Structure 1
Amino acid sequence: MKRLIWQLPALALVAVLNVVNAADEYVADRLNLFTENYGSYNYSIDGREYEHDGENIGGSSTEFIKKLMDHAGIPYKMKLRSWRVSYERALTRPDYGVFSTGRTELREDLFEWVGPIARYNWIVMVKKDSPLQINSLEDIRGLKVGGYRNDAVTEYVQNAGIEVSDLPNESANPHLLQDGLIDVWVTSDVSAWSVAEATGYTEIEVGYVFKTVDMYLAMNKDTRPEWLDQLYASYDALVEAGELELPTYE
């Protein structure tokens, strides 16, 4: 009986994952768009980790993507998942896309890019009143650096030859930073404060801003060409109509 009781949580988790995976199965004749909870750009309206319908997903980037899809007249389904799942779906499945996705040299040839739809800064977060003086990425080499697996910021820093502890999600990094378990946290200005406030670890601050990057709707390379053409044309039309305004950083 004890063994059965211990097995129940694991079986429940498997059941949940099976439901999520089943809900993500490929459906022909529509685009399948995935996103994650990411600051004010895209999020679950009800604060959940998963959403199965676009009506429950909000944010500035999300609302623009909805306008884009309506203008293009392409049938679609929008869902919210973890970043790992969303990114993997778009990378490996035809007619799948993920937003809001930082367009970087490392990712350039992996997707077809529609946008930009947003813009953000890549930053190094430090503990409040930290004595660290950071004027370049070289200044964090050899430190204990926290990051986020499959995240563009983490990938960029790792590609510079800097070791990063890349967790499956960002939620632990503010705690690790504030408690001195890591020295710095590489992230973006879009997610840093929302993650810190959600976890209650806010005694941190920006130590260095090292890059400004545009974010896109990243579509699988095998997405139907006619749908991509419709997306590009609709994007240009909406921008010309003043439906999108990107922030300007000095």
Structure 2
Amino acid sequence: MFKRLLFALAGTLVVLAGSARAEVDANYRMVLLTENFPPYNMAINGKNFAQEDNLDGIAVDIVREMFKRAGIQYNLTLRFPWDRIYKLALEKPGYGVFVTARLPERETLFKWVGPIGPDDWVLLARGDSPIILNSLAEASQYRVGAYKGDAIAAHLEQQGLTPLTALRDQLNAKKLMAGQIDLWATGDPAGRYLAKQEGISGLKTVLRFDTAQLYLALNKEVPDEVVEKLQGELDKMRGEGFVDDILNNYL
């Protein structure tokens, strides 16, 4: 009799625990932060502050759909600077930041959902260019355009190249088409997006010299079941072709 009571009590506790978890999921709300980083995240008005429907971009569309499918509530804000929103996600339970590279030194600082998309460093050329490269060193014989103050430009300099820098990266797309530079060192898909905004297409990738994947980074206090739900929905979206469709819409 006593054993049967114990089993009954245990069963009741399991049911209650399941109900409590369902209630937590239904009422759980996250604060998601991002920055202007076209074409992944951007304010529709181009400013450094925007909320909810005033945001656009590849990652914004993917994250919105992912949270919708998972049934998890959220608030979405674009702010500046990056260091500030990264610190908030690192320190505040229920916060997340996107998109960011999943680097070894960050691995244990967050819980991760992704990848959402790539952030590669590439050398682009006009579609009719005969240039063929096997290494970054081989690019030293060409005029290489880059974005002034950008990490890519700094990397080229560290590798012994002397990039011709522009104050806005999209200017390099125009310079490439005008024959003022032979190669454009930029991000992918960022470069292709910026070129499209200038009415330029058909550029070809001559060299991919660095690669990374971008993720949604969640505070370590975010419940594992929330992380698993989001990852599961993202995996389904990728399998359905939803992620590729969003990427293609912007490029």
Q: What is the TM-score of this pair, normalised by structure 1?
A: 0.60
Q: Which one-letter code corresponds to 1:90 in the other structure?
A: I
1:52-71 correspondence runs (5 A): 52-69=50-67, 71=70
Q: Which one-letter code corresponds to 2:34 in the other structure?
A: F
Count of aligned pairs? 206
Q: Which runs of 5+ in 2 are unaligned?
A: 1-28, 245-251
Query: In 2, Cα distance between the equivalents of 1:54 and 1:208?
Result: 37
> Is the 8 Å Cα contact of residues 178 and 204 (structure 1) preserved in structure 2?
no
Q: What's the counterpart of residue 146 of structure 1?
A: 145
Q: What's the counterpart of residue 231 of structure 2?
A: 236
Change (3 A) 1:227 1:69: farther
State which drifts further: 90-99 or 114-123: 90-99
Say if 2:83 is the partner of 1:88: yes
How far does the alpha carbon of each residue in 1:191-215 deviate from its partner, in whole angstroms, 9 at most, with x for none? Answer: 2232113224558543233455322
Q: What is the TM-score of this pair, normalised by structure 2?
A: 0.60
1:86-235 correspondence runs (5 A): 87-93=82-88, 94-95=91-92, 97-104=96-103, 108=106, 112=110, 113-119=112-118, 121-141=120-140, 143-148=142-147, 157=156, 160=159, 162-164=161-163, 169-202=168-201, 204-218=203-217, 223=219, 225-227=220-222, 229=224, 232-235=227-230
Change (3 A) 1:122 1:151: same
How far does the alpha carbon of each residue in 1:175-231 deviate from its partner, in whole angstroms, 9 at most, with x for none? Answer: 233334443212234222321132245585432334553221245xxx4x2127465
Change (3 A) 1:173 1:56: same
CA RMSD of aligned residues (A): 4.0
Change (3 A) 1:203 1:67: closer
Q: Which runs of 5+ in 1 are unaligned?
A: 1-28
- Structure whose alpha-carbon radius of gyration is higher: 2
Query: In 2, Cα distance between the equivalents of 1:134 and 1:30?
Result: 45
Q: Which one-letter code corresponds to 1:48 in the other structure?
A: N
> Alignment identity in percent?
23
- How far did 1:33 drift? 0.9
Change (3 A) 1:151 1:183: same
Q: What's the counterpart of residue 45 of structure 2?
A: 48
Match of 1:125, SS state, is strand
- How far did 1:160 drift? 4.7
Query: In 2, Cα distance between the equivalents of 1:159 and 1:230?
Result: 44
Query: In 1, Cα distance between the equivalents of 2:83 and 2:32?
Result: 13
Q: What's the counterpart of residue 18 of structure 2?
A: none
- How far did 1:34 drift? 1.0
Q: Which one-letter code corresponds to 2:45 in the other structure?
A: R
State which drifts further: 159-168 or 129-138: 159-168
Q: Which one-letter code corresponds to 2:46 in the other structure?
A: E
> Is the 8 Å Cα contact of residues 113 and 231 (structure 2) preserved in structure 1?
no
Change (3 A) 1:206 1:32: same
Q: Which one-letter code corresponds to 1:100 in the other structure?
A: V
Change (3 A) 1:64 1:203: closer
